[in-house]
Amino acid sequence: MRQERLGYLDSARGLAAIGVLFAHAIASFSETNLELVAIANFTESYLDLGKIFLILFFLTSGFVIPYSIKGEGRSALKSFGISRFFRLYPVYWVSAILGFILYGTFNYQELLMNLTMLQQFFGVKNIIGLYWTLQLELIFYFLIALTFIFNRLYSKRFLFQTSVFFLLIALAMAVARNILLVKLPLALPLSLSIMYFSSYYRYYVLEKDTEAKKLSNYYFFIYFITIPTISYLGYNYDFGFHETWEKYTLSYFIGLLLFVAICKLKRSSQAMEYSGKISYPSTFFIHWPLLSFSSSPF
Count of H helices and E strands in the chain? 12, 0
**Mean pLDDT computed over 170-197:** 95
Q: What's the confidence (pLDDT) of residue 3?
A: 47
Using the predicted structure, report yes or no on whether residue 4 has a pLDDT greater than 80: no
Residue 55 to residue 36: CA distance in whole angstroms: 24
Q: What's the confidence (pLDDT) of residue 32?
A: 61
> Is 28 inside any structural domain?
yes
Q: What's the confidence (pLDDT) of residue 298?
A: 42
Phi, psi of 295 (to 5 degrees): -90, -5
CB 94 within 8 A of CB 170: no
**Mean pLDDT computed over 37-49:** 75
* CA proximity to 285, closest of 119, 117, 138: 117
Q: What's the confidence (pLDDT) of residue 290?
A: 54
Q: What's the confidence (pLDDT) of residue 197?
A: 98
> Is 171 inside any structural domain?
yes
Q: Half-sphere exposure (CA, 13 Å, Cβ side) for 179? A: 6
Phi, psi of 182 (to 5 degrees): -115, 135
Mean pLDDT of the chain: 86
Greater confidence (45 vs 225) lies with 225
Residue % of the chain over a pLDDT of 70: 84
Among the ranges given (70-79, 109-118, 206-215), the one the predictor scored with the smallest mean pLDDT = 70-79
> Is 1 inside any structural domain?
no
Q: What's the confidence (pLDDT) of residue 280?
A: 54
Task: Identify the band that residue 283 occupies on the pLDDT scale cut at 50, 70 and 90.
Answer: low
CB 295 within 8 A of CB 28: yes
Sequence-distant (6+) residues with CB within 8 A of 266 are: 8
Sequence-distant (6+) residues with CB within 8 A of 48 are: 23, 247, 248, 251
Phi, psi of 262 (to 5 degrees): -65, -45
Q: What's the confidence (pLDDT) of residue 267?
A: 82
CB 17 within 8 A of CB 275: yes
Q: What's the confidence (pLDDT) of residue 72?
A: 85
CB 87 within 8 A of CB 281: yes
Q: In a 10 Å sphere around its CB, with 0-12 CB exposed, 13-18 middle and 19+ buried, how is residue 158 labelled? A: middle
Q: What's the confidence (pLDDT) of residue 132?
A: 86
**β strands within the chain, DSSP E:** none
**Mean pLDDT computed over 103-114:** 92
Distances (CA, A) of 252 to 86, 107, 228, 231, 291: 30, 36, 9, 9, 26
Q: What's the confidence (pLDDT) of residue 33?
A: 64
> Is 166 inside any structural domain?
yes
pTM: 0.88
> Is 2 inside any structural domain?
no
DSSP 276: I
Greater confidence (1 vs 41) lies with 41
> Is 202 inside any structural domain?
yes
Q: What's the confidence (pLDDT) of residue 297?
A: 43
Q: How many separate domains does the chain show? A: 1
Domain that holds residue 247: 7-294
Sequence-distant (6+) residues with CB within 8 A of 199 are: 62, 63, 65, 66, 144, 159, 163
Instruction: Note the Cα 273 to chain centre separation in Å.
Output: 18
Helix (H/G/I), strand (E/B), else coil: 47: coil
